[in-house]
């Protein structure tokens, strides 16, 4: 069976190591929407060893920190669903009070039109911030 996160990057790759990758998702309504995708085809966090879980979450937290630094969102949403694509990945989503869905989930009902405007050179700025912020053992 084919897996879209095994077969393709899942977005514009900002950073990658042997364990996982951080991609800028193609989500026009939510600029800065990141995914942290495990490179191995694993379904659940508890399928990982404690050390691998810690390494993956260190990358998720670095992605959150990079978004906060570059975009100064009102809130960050973290989600690991996998209902549609059962391949372990985390959504790291900057939220703004003027984004199309706030305060609903990004997959929920629209409240207002139009995305929050992203900063110039968003991908390059996020990649630079992320690379500087990631420091966990096993994530180099």
Could you read off the pLDDT tens digit of each residue along the chain, which spans 140 residues?
A: 799 999 999 999 999 999 999 999 999 999 999 999 999 999 999 999 999 999 999 999 999 999 999 999 999 999 999 889 999 999 999 999 999 999 999 998 899 998 899 999 999 999 999 988 886 444 44
Q: How many domains does the chain have?
A: 1
The answer to whether residue 63 is domain-embedded is yes
Is residue 138 assigned to a domain?
no
Residue 89: how many CB atoms within 10 A of its CB? 22
**pTM for the model:** 0.92
The answer as to whether 139 is a domain residue is no
Task: Give every CB contact of residue 138 below 8 A, 6+ residues apart in sequence.
Answer: 19, 51, 52, 55
CATH number, residue 72: 3.30.428.10
Residue 82 included in any domain: yes
Residue 85 lies in a domain: yes
Range of the domain at 61: 4-133
**Are 20 and 56 in contact, with CB atoms under 8 Å apart?**
yes
Decide if 140 is inside a domain: no
């Amino acid at each position: 069976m084919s897996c879209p996160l095994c077969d393709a990057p899942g977005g514009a790759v900002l950073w990658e190591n042997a364990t996982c990758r951080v991609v800028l998702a193609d989500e026009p309504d939510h600029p800065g929407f990141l995914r942290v995708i495990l490179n191995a085809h694993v379904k659940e966090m508890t399928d990982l060893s404690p050390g691998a879980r810690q390494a993956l979450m260190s990358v998720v937290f670095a992605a959150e920190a990079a978004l906060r630094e570059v975009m100064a969102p009102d809130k960050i949403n973290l989600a690991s669903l996998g209902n549609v694509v059962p391949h372990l990945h985390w959504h790291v989503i900057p939220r703004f009070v003027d984004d199309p869905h706030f305060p609903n989930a990004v997959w929920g009902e629209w409240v207002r039109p139009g995305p929050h405007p992203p900063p110039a050179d968003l991908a390059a700025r996020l990649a630079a911030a992320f690379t500087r912020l990631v420091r966990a053992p096993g994530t180099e």
